[in-house]
Amino acid sequence: GTAQVGVTGLAVMGRNLARNLARHGHTVAVHNRTAARTRALVEGFGHEGAFVPARTAEEFVAALERPRRVLVMVRAGAPTDAVLDGLAPLLDEGDVVVDGGNAHFADTRRRERRLRERGVHFVGAGVSGGEEGALNGPSIMPGGSPEAWAALRPLLEDIAAKAADGAPCTAHIGPDGAGHFVKMVHNGIEYADMQLISEAHDLLRHVAGYEPARIAEVFRTWGTGRLDSYLIRITAEILAHADPVTGRPFVDVVADAAEQKGTGRWTVQTALDLGVPVSGIAEAVLARSLSGHTRLREASAGLPGPHRPPLAEEDAAYFADQIEQALYASKLVSYDQGWHMMRAASEEYGWGIDPGTVAAVWRGGCIIRAAFLDRVRAAFAADPALPTLLADEGFAGEVGEAQPAWRSAVAEAVRHGVPVPGLSAALASYDALRAGRLPAALVQAQRDYFGAHTYRRTDRAGVYHTLWGGDRSEVRAGS
């Protein structure tokens, strides 16, 4: 074979990655279950580079130079297994197969084991940036063997987005499921970020009394500062957009039931299993879920709430600034929770994920790309063992300065009856983490009371139980 790389699965993500590879001068074998898509790709974009169309899996595999590099871009779940089952017998030892879909990391671990038995390197690669990113530069998070990374590196570095300093937004994340795990957390953070931004919008609308066009201006300004990010930029664009049908603000004609394909839910399910509190992501998933419960919402629509008019103009401007601070601090806390989760999984699975590398890879191409991620990268580069971003002097200083405004914004939201689950959960997390003592002590005492579940003491080592039903003396447990 003569093709340097093959792409099978030519729906929009696969097609755009194939074009991206071809545009960078690589000869790309292309294959799809139904041949029409392969033909359409070559007819529509053949002039962009060198494509080798293949009608069958056998033809596809034969078109590749060895060791082969195959990118599988089909739907996660059963379709991915079907394609891998078809490919496996055709591959040779040392070949590299990449799954660039949004697979669950547990599936990736299973597939990696199976293919490893045949001597084939399986790489679960998170790819972020949507259709546009796939074509012009995504963020790529590959997990697999170092040998596989060495084979893929030149290709991935070519097609990945480039950060402001020119570095490609891809790196070896770790073995087996590490790449898809990190992509999953990326999506969880994406959910949290979107939720926080939409809460900020809601406050500007209903407490500050701003119209969408004006809120667009506010976001545009914020986007030139420390909140500079893709999601803030597209939010400004969306809010400035008028519905061509009615002329009304576009955001007002979109049905307010948020859907999800499930990666945010996976993040929360996994975090629960790891015992890591990712309240920002969880609240975002829950808020989407609540928004879809139409009957429940209709039945609750008449319940009483405060009737407060929007703030006066001067107060509104002041409030808008408080929201910027609340948004920034909450974003920091939510991202920090994501890193906590990656650290826990890395320890659990022995992945050796470098936290700064993840931040570096997310600086460009992906949905959560943001100027702020370069500072996260720098913080972890200075201290890879940083237990929280708030232990970094720079971030701690910013959040310390923001916290009075953060509280005011949340309090004002509560007074006006505007739900801010993301902003308030982030603040609660911040306050819980900085508190010297937590009410968890009382929870432990309750557990001991009704279930003899025992407790530890602050002043002495050992495990204890109080004889609540008897004379309430204390005994050492297990003695």
- Of 112, 66, 126, give the one whose Cα is nearest residue 90: 66
Run of H or E including 53: strand 51-54
Buried-exposed string 343-352: b where 16+ CB fall within 10 A, e elsewhere: bbbbeebebe
Q: Give residues 261-280 in contact with ligand 6PG (rule: CB under 6 A).
A: 261-264
Rank residues 91 and 359 by Cβ distance to ligand 6PG and give the closer one: 359
Q: Which residue is nearest to ligand 6PG (CB)?
A: 128
Rank residues 76 and 376 by Cβ distance to ligand 6PG and give the closer one: 76
Tell the smallest beta-carbon distance from residue 285 to ligand 6PG (Å): 9
Q: Give residues 204-233 in contact with ligand 6PG (rule: CB under 6 A).
A: none
Tell me the window of 20-28, 40-48, 72-80, 128-136 that interacts with ligand 6PG (CB under 6 A): 128-136
Catalytic residue check, 48: no
Rank residues 289 and 454 by Cβ distance to ligand 6PG and give the closer one: 289
Q: Cis peptide leading into 67, omega within 30 of 0?
A: yes
- Of 229, 399, 364, 426, give the one whose Cα is nearest residue 219: 229
Q: What angle do CA 49, 55, 56 make, to 5 degrees?
A: 125
Tell the smallest beta-carbon distance from residue 281 to ligand 6PG (Å): 12
Torsion of CA 18, 21, 23, 28, to 10 degrees: -70
Cα 73 to Cα 54: distance, rounded to the nearest angstrom: 15
| Catalytic site residue from 190, 324, 398, 412 | 190
Tell me the window of 64-72, 127-135, 278-286, 317-325 that interacts with ligand 6PG (CB under 6 A): 127-135
Cα 37 to Cα 389: distance, rounded to the nearest angstrom: 46
Q: Does 190 bind ligand 6PG (CB under 6 A)?
A: yes
Tell the smallest beta-carbon distance from residue 368 to ligand 6PG (Å): 8
**Six-digit token string for 345:** 């999984």
Among 8, 32, 128, 195, binds ligand 6PG (CB under 6 A): 128
Among 129, 168, 223, 355, binds ligand 6PG (CB under 6 A): 129
Contacts of 468 (CB under 8 A, 6+ apart): 448, 449
Tell me the window of 59-67, 159-167, 260-268, 275-283 that interacts with ligand 6PG (CB under 6 A): 260-268
Count, residues near ligand 6PG per rule CB under 6 A: 13
Rank residues 170 and 322 by Cβ distance to ligand 6PG and give the closer one: 170
Run of H or E including 474: strand 474-476
Rank residues 102 and 334 by Cβ distance to ligand 6PG and give the closer one: 102
The two beta strands, 121-128 and 139-143, are antiparallel
Is residue 394 within 8 Å of residue 380, measured between CB atoms?
Answer: no
Beginning with the edge strand found earlier in the chain, give each strand of the sheet holding 121-128 in spatial order.
51-54, 28-31, 5-8, 69-72, 96-99, 121-128, 139-143
| Catalytic site residue from 93, 162, 183, 393 | 183
**Six-digit token string for 7:** 């792409």
Rank residues 54 and 184 by Cβ distance to ligand 6PG and give the closer one: 184
Binding mask 359-378 for ligand 6PG (x = CB under 6 A): -------xx-----------
Tell me the window of 241-249, 257-265, 279-287, 457-465 that interacts with ligand 6PG (CB under 6 A): 257-265
Q: Does 260 bind ligand 6PG (CB under 6 A)?
A: yes
Catalytic residue check, 190: yes
Q: Does 254 bind ligand 6PG (CB under 6 A)?
A: no
Q: Which residues pair with 70 in a beta bridge?
A: 6, 97
Tell the smallest beta-carbon distance from residue 101 to ligand 6PG (Å): 9
Q: What is the DSSP letter of 458?
A: S
Q: Which residues would be at the binding site for ligand 6PG (CB under 6 A)?
A: 102, 128-130, 187, 190, 260-264, 366-367
Residues labelled catalytic? 183, 190
